[in-house]
Structure 1
Amino acid sequence: MRVNGPRAGDHTQTVLWRFTDPDRTHRTSLRDGVLVHHPVTGAPGPVACAVRLRAPPQEAVAGLRRGR
């Protein structure tokens, strides 16, 4: 992901990424023009969007880059 910090400065967004192979959950949050990422352990809390991907993380991200 690319973020234009100055243009994103007024936006807040949280996305939950659930990978089923292996079973992992990660959260990305955009706040004050800064995008942060961290793994989730336990309850994920409120999110704007949840994405479930069946491919391993490396393949899923590569597929997103190719527009699949």
Structure 2
Amino acid sequence: MKKQRKQTQTTREIPEHVRAWIDKIRGPKFDKKAIAKEEEERRKKYFQEIKERCDLANDWPQYNADSEQ
């Protein structure tokens, strides 16, 4: 029969200065949902401006060559 090893708890509490160093290496955390929402709003605003420009361009009277004769 195999002798069963006694399991020891290997997880230790990470010191605060080490945790801060690890966080610094990993970089800042970003809220992905907030970023996606801002990009969506920016995109909607951009397309709305384009639509308004097109509407203004279409408001000009159309040149009709037949009516000028």
Structure-2-length-normalised TM-score: 0.17
- Determine which structure has more spread, i.e. the larger CA radius of gyration: 2
Structure number having the greater strand percentage: 1
